[in-house]
């Protein structure tokens, strides 16, 4: 979906103006959340352009056009998204997200099941545990930005074993991480990376096993930060979940987006 098709409005919570986006219309509402240090453009480009569905995205605190505040946690982001759903008076929605957005969606499905009629977990970076090993590269970048200037931090990262590993095995992850050295404000970027990377969705495997909504799990190979194993485990834990693998983003981004939209559209057509 084209980003410029979304109407932006401010949703005020805890005194902060959070940027929300809505494609409008009478279609089935789908609340779809971005990843860590991402924004609504990430969700828009992955979402099928079909008026049957109404895309809603909230840019989390410190992301996109939302104000920063001083509290970053997956639990806080979840409360913000749930509050937006309540504020809009939406019926139960399909909720989903990419990476951190998937963690937000899984926690909402567990903690606020009355809001959810379907679940989409795309390229999940968490299952249930906090501080998973796959999030260590994000934490490493954040810690460098705390100690060094952005240019010095990037130089140190480029000389690190993590950079070499990702250059070989996950070039798309590497491109995202390198972008963090240019993301402003730098203080917010470092705070997000150092606070969210060791965080977790705050749920248990038993909670996932008790879910009873249709669930789609999307994953790719060649992705260190979003391991295929996480997606496979989530698909095993959630009853009836369907796992779809996509063309790796680092191999062919247009093919990845086409695969993503096709899988999502096929899933949403059942609602």
Q: What does DSSP say about strands 28-33 and 53-58: parallel, antiparallel, or unpaired?
A: parallel
For residue 134, what is the DSSP state? G
Tokens describing residue 9: 């409005």
The dihedral sign for the CA sequence 108, 112, 115, 116: positive
Closest alpha carbon to 66 in 179, 185, 178, 175: 185
CA separation for the pair 117, 114 (Å, rounded): 8
Residue 15, pLDDT above cutoff 90: yes
Q: Read off the pLDDT band of 51 (50, 70, 90).
A: confident
Cβ atoms of 127 and 137 closer than 8 Å = no
CA-to-CA dists, residue 10 to 33, 57, 68, 165, 212, angstroms? 16, 12, 14, 40, 33
For the residues 139-148, what does the mean pLDDT come to? 98
For residue 114, what is the DSSP state? G
pLDDT tens figures, 101-113:
999 999 999 999 9
For residue 127, what is the DSSP state? S
Backbone angles phi, psi at 58, to 5 degrees: -110, 125
CA separation for the pair 123, 112 (Å, rounded): 22
CA-to-CA dists, residue 69 to 3, 33, 59, 201, angstroms? 25, 19, 13, 20
pLDDT tens figures, 70-84:
999 999 999 999 999
For the residues 28-51, what does the mean pLDDT come to? 96
pLDDT value of residue 132: 98
H helix or E strand, kind and range, residue 98: strand 93-98
Cβ atoms of 102 and 36 closer than 8 Å = no
pTM exceeds cut of 0.95: yes
Closest alpha carbon to 118 in 135, 95, 100: 95
pLDDT tens figures, 17-38:
999 999 999 999 999 999 999 9
């Amino acid at each position: 979906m084209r980003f410029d098709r979304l109407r932006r409005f401010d949703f005020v919570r805890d005194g902060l103006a959070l940027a929300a986006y809505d494609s409008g219309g009478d279609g089935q509402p789908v609340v779809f959340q971005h990843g860590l240090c991402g924004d609504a453009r990430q969700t828009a480009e992955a979402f099928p352009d079909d008026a049957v569905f109404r895309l809603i995205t909230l840019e989390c605190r410190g992301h996109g056009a939302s104000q920063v505040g001083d509290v970053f946690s997956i639990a806080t982001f979840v409360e913000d998204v749930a509050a937006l759903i309540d504020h809009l008076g939406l019926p139960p929605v399909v909720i989903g997200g990419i990476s951190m957005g998937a963690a937000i969606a899984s926690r909402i499905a567990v903690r606020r099941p009355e809001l959810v009629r379907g679940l989409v977990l795309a390229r999940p970076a968490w299952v249930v545990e906090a501080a998973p090993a796959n999030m260590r590269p994000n934490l490493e970048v954040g810690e460098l930005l705390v100690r060094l200037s952005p240019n010095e931090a990037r130089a140190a990262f480029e000389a690190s074993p993590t950079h070499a590993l990702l250059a070989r095995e996950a070039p798309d992850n590497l491109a995202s991480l390198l972008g963090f050295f240019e993301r402003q404000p730098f203080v917010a970027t470092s705070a997000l990376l150092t606070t969210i990377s060791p965080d977790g969705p705050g749920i248990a495997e038993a909670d996932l096993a008790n879910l009873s909504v249709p669930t789609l799990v999307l994953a790719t190979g060649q992705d260190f930060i979003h391991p295929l194993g996480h997606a496979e485990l989530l698909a095993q834990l959630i009853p009836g979940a369907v796992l779809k693998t996509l063309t790796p983003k680092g191999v062919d981004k247009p093919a990845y987006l086409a695969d993503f939209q096709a899988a999502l559209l096929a899933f949403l057509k059942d609602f």
